[in-house]
Amino acid sequence: MKKPSVGVFKFTSDGGCQLQILNMERELFDLLNLINITYFPMAGVDSGEGPFDIGFVEGAVTSTDEIIRIKEIREKCRILVALGACACYGGIASIKNQKTQRELEEKVYTDLTAVHSTKAFGIDQYVKVDAYVRGCPIDKNEFIEVVKSTLLQIKPNLRPHSVCVECKLRENPCIFLIEGEVCMGPVTSAGCGALCPSRHRACEGCRGPASDPNTPSLARTMLEYGLTPEEVRLKFIKYAGETQAFKEGAGIK
């Protein structure tokens, strides 16, 4: 069997998800037995412009140039995977969507003639996406699961329920009930193994909405815990403010 060709592409992001791929020291050689990475500039691989069997895209789309480029990449990839919070739903960069582009551009740049920024969106705002690997950064096991499932042509076993399930299984003290702080875990998709609450830190919601997120109810509880409506809003817009569920939690229509 010919090894499928794989491309890894970067958009507006900090490169953390690509780094997670490179961090897989234990699995990387076995993975390379299965796939042929032909385009991955961060790893120093640039042997061709495709087409690709699988394309992994990291980063949000935040400029007209990027809109054109993501459409070109979609044409070249048989299967397109959004890698990480930015590519899935805009990520940290999407916080800027709360203000107008002009306001932000003026704060950052002195010469605006060549700046053509757009609101930050996940790549599915512009192209069809076949699979999502969530998180900031991605979880390596989920990445491997998606690669394996793609090769076997089966549905990946990703569990989109709340982080609470994984948190309870790890027997962590509940951030809400024991630590007395607010947490995004009840409405955030699992798969990280409750990484932050296992270190006594509240879930920040980096994996986006869980499968049936009751965000208005959680927002009400956050108010009861003493947060102001503005603080609740900031919780919900941090990583996935463009998703319908988190918009509802933030009270943004």
Query: Which whole-number Å values give the CA distances from 147 to 31, 131, 143, 253, in the listed order?
Result: 9, 10, 6, 36
In the complex, what is the shortest distance from the CB of residue 174 to another protein, in angstroms, rounded to a whole number?
Answer: 7
31 or 95: whose CB is closer to another protein? 31
| Sole binder of another protein in the list 74, 76, 116, 161 (CB under 8 A) | 161
Contacts of 153 (CB under 8 A, 6+ apart): none
Is the preceding omega at residue 137 within 30 degrees of 0, hence cis?
yes
> Judged by CB under 8 A, how many residues of this single chain contact another protein?
38
137, amino acid identity: P
CB of 11 to another protein, least distance (A): 28
Whose Cβ is closer to another protein: residue 48's or residue 216's?
A: 216
- State the Cα–Cα distance between residues 116 and 101, nearest whole angstrom: 9
Q: Is 61 helix (H, G, I), strand (E, B) or coil?
A: strand
Nearer to another protein, 123 or 144 (CB): 144
Decide: residue 240, CB within 10 A, 0-12 exposed, 13-18 middle, 19+ buried. Answer: buried
Residues 167-226 close enough to bind another protein by CB under 8 A:
168-169, 171-174, 176-179, 185-187, 210-214, 216-218, 221
150 binding another protein? (CB under 8 A): no
CA distances from 65 to 3, 19, 92 (A): 31, 24, 20
Number of residues in the chain: 253
DSSP H helices, 77-139, are 84-89, 101-108
Taking the complex as a whole, the smallest distance from the CB of residue 161 to another protein amounts, in Å, to: 4
Stretch that binds another protein, among 103-111, 127-135, 166-174, 228-236 (CB under 8 A): 166-174
The answer to whether 159 contacts another protein (rule: CB under 8 A) is yes
Choices 52-60, 81-89, 125-133, 155-163; region in contact with another protein by CB under 8 A: 155-163
CA Rg value for the chain: 19
| Residue 22 interacts with another protein (CB under 8 A): yes or no | no
Residues engaged in binding another protein (CB under 8 A): 27, 30-31, 33-34, 144, 148, 151-152, 157, 159-162, 164-165, 168-169, 171-174, 176-179, 185-187, 210-214, 216-218, 221
